[in-house]
Chains A and B, each alone.
Chain A
Amino acid sequence: YETSSGPPKWEKTQLTYKILSYTPDLPRRKVDDAIRRALMVWSDVTPLRFRRVYLRQADIEIIFASGEHGDGYPFDGKGGTLAHAFDPGQGRGGDAHFDEDEKWSEIDQDVNLFLVAAHEFGHSLGLGHSDVQGALMYPIYSYQNPETFRLPADDRRRIQSLYGKKSS
């Protein structure tokens, strides 16, 4: 989807996020931390800033849900689709949904939440999938160590073409 003025993007650099529900697979603080670090992947290379909110509506709202969860794009149980997220925009725009039927983890077993969240937030910011294997926005999940994760050049170039570079 592209508008006549280019791909959808946020017209502001200060964005808010809210975690509406949690997975029981991980302690809440680990989920909070994975989400925060996943957003940092993008804020580290652009002028974008993310602030967590608890009460009011946020630009990026995050849920864990199973099957049909109210957006017309039901999840499919364990395996297959892990998560999805909406392009920037009002209402559901920017929101990220994670399939609760997956087993979420902070390590290499099961599905690493940080890696999937970082990918989904790429969609929340306006990126589509990349056909470059190894790119974060490649659609197929593959594990890499979150401790040594660095945003691949393809993703960096694409996000910076939307929002510019982080000023030093």
Chain B
Amino acid sequence: FPLQVRPQPWSSLDPEKVKGYLDKFFPTFTKAQNLSIEERIKKMQKFFHLTVTGKLDTETEKILTMPRCGMPDVSE
């Protein structure tokens, strides 16, 4: 029998935490509320001048866990 391929977790971080981070620091405008998580991660990666992949790679995860100011990075 072929081995059942399990989907790889996209990150070691809790997806809710990632969404919470994006909601808080990269809030979406009313018109763009249907942006996928991938698009929102790209927006964050662009701000921090990371490689824009839309994926939670190591350098993106690192940013997510760093101590920071509580104000958003993009204007609401």
Contacts and interface: CB of A to CB of B under 8 A. Distances in A.
A79 interface: yes
Interface stretch (B3-11, B31-39, B61-69): B61-69
A139 B49 contact: no
Q: Is the interface of B mostly helix, strand, loop or mixed?
A: loop
A128 B25 CA distance: 12
A84 B68 CA distance: 9
A129 B72 CA distance: 8
A111 B67 contact: yes
A81 B47 contact: no
B66 A75 contact: no
A75 B70 contact: yes
Point out which of B49, B66, B69, B75 has the most chain A C-beta atoms below 10 A from its C-beta.
B69
A2 B76 CA distance: 9
B68 A80 contact: yes
B68 A131 contact: no
Q: Is the interface of A mostly helix, strand, loop or mixed?
A: loop
Given A131-B48, A133-B49, A1 B75 contact: yes
Interface residues of A, number: 24
Interface of A: 1-2, 73, 75, 79-85, 102, 111, 116, 119-120, 123, 128-129, 131, 133, 139-141
Which 8 pairs of residues, A with B, have the shortest CB-CB distance?
A84-B70, A81-B70, A141-B67, A129-B73, A139-B69, A140-B66, A140-B68, A139-B68
Given A82-B68, A85-B71, 6 more contacts: A84-B70, A128-B71, A129-B73, A140-B66, A140-B67, A140-B68
Interface of B: 25, 47-49, 63, 65-73, 75-76
